[in-house]
Structure 1
Amino acid sequence: MSTGVVCRCRLPLTTHTLTYVADLLRRHLKAIRLPPGKIALIVVAVLRHDPRLADMAGGNNISASSVRR
């Protein structure tokens, strides 16, 4: 059984703003060049356990700057 992440908020954003931010994220993910699943795993691990970024990088065979991004 898996649980989802829920965050309720109300933000007065225009479609233009959302499109702009989505485009920035798409470009950033292409620059990182990691599969989305690996990115998600690293993000969850960092948020949950607060490991050193160098440890996360070494354990995933990527550079520390990629984890930082």
Structure 2
Amino acid sequence: MRAAGLGALADLGFRGLDNDVCDPVIVTGFHASRTHKLAAGQKDANRVLAGGRAPVGHGFAHLKNWRILAKLRIDPARATQLLRALLVLTNLEVNR
């Protein structure tokens, strides 16, 4: 991912996967513990991260309602077109 210039927003389950602190590819939130409380800035950063991840999670949740995706056996390029079409239909249905 780093060579392609891509990055990912991830939850705390992906902590430690990316060891490059100066140039992270996988951006995770800050973790609090019983002895280490989060500062106000860290809480704000977690809130912004969650706001960026939420629409993607909601999009995948809507796409899972389409049962055709469970039996998808086509070329990945065609699958991308199908997913885009299903996402448009889902957005139309949600906004209606």
TM range (shorter): 0.3 to 0.5
Between Structure 1 and Structure 2, whose CA radius of gyration is higher?
2
Report the TM-score, using the length of structure 2 for normalisation.
0.26
